A and B are shown apart, each in its own frame.
Chain A
Amino acid sequence: MNKTASIFGWTLVALLGAAAVGVIAVHRGEPINALWLVAAATCCYALGYRFYSRFIAVKILALDALRATPAERLENGRDFLVTNKWVVFGHHFAAIAGPGPLVGPVLAAQFGYLPGTMWVLAGAVFAGCVQDFVILLFSVRRDGKSLTEMAKEEIGRVGGFVAYTAVIAILVILLGVAALIVVNALKDSPWGTFTIAMTIPIALLMGLYLRRIRPGKVLEVSILGFILVLFAIFGGQWASQNPTMANVFTLRAPTLAILIIVYGFAASALPVWLLLAPRDYLSTFVKLGTIALLGIGIVALHPTLHMPALTRFVDGNGPVFAGKIFPFAFITIACGAISGFHALISSGTTPKLIARETETRMVGYGAMMCESAVAVMAIIAACVLQPGVYFAINSPAGVVGQTAATATATISSWGFPVTASDMQALAHAVGEQTLFNRTGGAPAFAVGMAHIFSQSLGGATVMALWYHFAVMFEALFILTILDAGTRVARFMIQDALGHIYKPLGRTSWYPSILATSALIVGAWGYFLWQGVKDPLGGINSLWPLFGIANQLLATVALCVATTIIVKMHRTRYAAVTLVPLAWLVAVTFTASWHKILDPNPRVGFLAQARALAAGPATSATARLIFNNRLDAAVTAVLVVMVALVLIESVRQWMGVLSGREYARVKESPFVQTRLAEERG
C-alpha cells in the first residue's frame, strides 16, 4: 500500500513538474505568473533529489553508513568534528550562497526568462548538485583533502597546479567584478553609500560588544547589528534629503573604486578582528534572513512576470552583454546551475564535519538545490520588472546613449517601451536621482525585490526602503566576500611563496603580509579600475571572464570526479560526471574562443582592441587596448591550462581502461564507525 501511494505521489509530482515546465517553455504572448517557475523548480528538485541523487549514491558512490568519516576518526574539537547533518547543511549552504546566483540570472534575463530558468533547473539537477555531492564524498573518503590536493593525487602534478592557478585567477576576477557591482550600485547614491558606510561603525560596535560586554554571543549581537542596520537605512533617507550630507555621500564611480581598493588592502593587511569578524556575522545574518524573506514573499505574493519568455537578444546583440544564448547564457549563470567554486567548499570545511557518508547526499546535493532555488528567485525578481525598465537599468550608456531621452528612445525602438518620465518616477519612488545605466545586476535585482514587496508590505510608500534594504543586503555581503576573499588569496600566495623563501610563508610576518596583500588587491583593483573606466560599463567584459574562470574550475572538478569514478571501476556510470564535463568543455571553450577571437568588437576582446586602434585616439585609447589584450591573454592562459588537465585526465582514463595502468584510488583505509554501535 505504501509503495502504491509512493508511486502515485511521485507520478503526481512528475506530472505537475512536466506541466509547469511545459507552460514555461511553450507559453508565449501573455505574461505568466511566477508560481509556474516555483512549481517547476520544486518538482524538478524533488525528483532530482529522490531519484537521481539516490541512483548516484547507490550505484556509483556506494555510500557506506558503516564507514567512519574523518570527522569521527580525526576528531579534534576544532576542524574535525562529528556534527548534526542539518547543522552541516546550514553551514554548507551559508558558505556556498553568495551574490553569484543573484547577479548572474539577473544579467541573463536579457534573453528572457526561459533560457535562464531552464539552465538553472537542468544545470543544477544534472551538473551542479552532482559535482558538489561527488566532490564532497570523495573528499570525505580522503580525510577531507582539498580539490587541489585530490587533483594532484588523482590526475597528476599538472592537475594540482592548474586547480591552484584557476582558484587564484577566479578569486582575483571575482573580487574585481564583485567590487564593480558595489560601485555601480552605490555611485551617485547618497542613501546607499551612507547606509553602507554606517555598517562600519555598527560592525565596530558589534566587535566591542562581542569582546567586552557579552563574549561569544554572536547571534545576539547579530540581531542587534541588524536592527542598527535598519536604522541606518532610515538614516540614509535623511542623509539623501539633507543637502550637506547628500553632498558628502554622493560619490562618483572612480572615488568609490579607490575607497573600496583601500578598504580591501586594510582588511587584508591589518588584524582587524574588531571590524571584519562582526561584519562577516552581520552579512551572513542579513543574507540568510533576506533569502528566506524573498522566498516567502514570492510564494505569498506570486507576482506576474512581464519579461517575455525569449527576447530578440537571443541573436547575440544584447545591451547588457553581447553574445548568443550558447554559450553566453551558460557562462553568465554560474552559481545557480554549476559553480566550480563550490568544489572548494565541498572539499574544505564541510567534509570535516560530516558524521556519516550517507549524509553527503543531503548536504552536497541538497544544499546546491537550495542555491539553485535562490537563482530562480533572482530570475523572478528581474522578470517582474517591465522589460523597458529592466533594460534601462542594466544597459550601459555606451550602448543606449548618454541622456534619458536617447536611452528611452533606443530601448523603445527595440520593442520594449519605456519613457523618461516612467524612469524618473521609478527613481523617485526608490529614492534615487536616476536608475539609468546601473549595470551589474544588483540595482535591477533591488528594484525587482522592492517591486515584489511593495505589493503588500507597506505598499508603494515604502518602496524606497525596500530598494535600499536590497542594495544594502547585496553590498554588505559582497564587501564581506571582498575582504574574506582577499585574505584567502593572500594565504594561498603566502603558502606558495613559502616554498621559495620560508619567511614569506609565515602568515604573521608583516613584510610578507603587506607584499602579498598588495599583490592581490593590486590584481583585483586593476580589474575593478578597468571596469569603472570601461565605456561599456565593465560588466560586459568582466562578468563573462569570471563565468569562464568559474566554469573552468568546475571542469577541473569534474575531471577529478570522473577520474576517480573510472579508477573505482564504475566506468559504465561515468556518464553521470562525463556528460556535464563534456557540456562544460563545449561551453567554456566556445565562450573563450568567442571572447578572444570573435570578429564582433562587442564580443571579442581582440576585435575590440583592433576597433579601438582604428578609431579616433583619445587619452584612454591606449589603456583600453591594453585592457582588452590582457583580458584575451588571461582567458587564453586559463583555457590552455584546463586543456592540459583534460588531456592528463583522458590519458589516465585510457590507461586504466586499457589495463596499462593499475587503477589505484587514494582513499583512506576503511575503518568501521563506532557511531553505529553507540546508536545500537
Chain B
Amino acid sequence: MSRFVKAAGILLAALREIFDEAAYARYLSRTQTASSPRAYAAFREEFEEAKTRRPKCC
C-alpha cells in the first residue's frame, strides 16, 4: 500500500512538473508571495520566454 501511495505521489509530482504547477510553487516560494491572479501573471511573464524557447520534438 505504501509503495502504491509513493508511486502515486511521484506520478503526481511528475504531472505537476510537466504542467508547470511545481514551477509556479517555486516562484511563489522564491518571491515570498501568495498565489493570486497578479502573482500568476507575473510568473507567466517571467516564465514565458524560457518556456517558449524549449524545443519540443516531432
Contact = CB atoms under 8 A, between A and B. Distances in A.
B57 A87 contact: no
Which range holds the interface residue count of chain B?
35 or more
Contact of B58 (A174, A217, A349): A174
B18 A90 contact: yes
Which range holds the interface residue count of chain A?
35 or more
A647 interface: no
Nearest to A508: B49
Interface stretch (A227-235, A481-489, A516-524): A481-489
A90 B17 contact: yes
Given A87-B14, A210-B40, A215-B36, A339 B58 contact: yes
B52 interface: yes
Nearest to A484: B56
A284 B19 CA distance: 8
Contacts of B26: 77-78, 81
A216 B54 contact: no
Interface stretch (A8-16, A96-104, A577-585, A635-643): A96-104
Interface string A264-280: 00000001010001000
Given A94-B18, A100-B58, A174-B58, A216 B53 contact: no
Interface string A485-516: 10110010000000000000001000000000
A343 to B, nearest CB: 10
Nearest to A546: B58
Given A90-B15, A90-B17, A91-B18, A215 B55 contact: no
A334 B35 CA distance: 43
B10 A284 contact: no
Contact of A215 (B11, B29, B39, B56): B39
Given A77-B30, A273-B48, A485 B56 contact: yes
A97 B14 contact: no
A554 to B, nearest CB: 12
A174 B55 CA distance: 12
B23 to A, nearest CB: 8
Interface string B14-56: 1111111101111001100001110111011000111111111
B21 A277 contact: no
A491 B52 contact: yes
Contact of A90 (B14, B35, B41): B14
Contacts of B19: 218-219, 222, 281, 284-285
Interface in A459-500: 480-481, 484-485, 487-488, 491
B46 to A, nearest CB: 8
B21 A98 contact: no
24 contacts: A77-B26, A79-B50, A84-B10, A84-B14, A86-B10, A86-B14, A96-B57, A170-B58, A212-B37, A216-B35, A219-B21, A281-B19, A284-B19, A339-B57, A341-B55, A341-B57, A342-B57, A484-B52, A485-B55, A487-B53, A488-B53, A488-B56, A491-B52, A507-B49
Given A78-B23, A212-B37, 10 more contacts: A84-B13, A86-B14, A87-B14, A87-B17, A95-B54, A211-B41, A271-B48, A339-B58, A348-B55, A488-B53
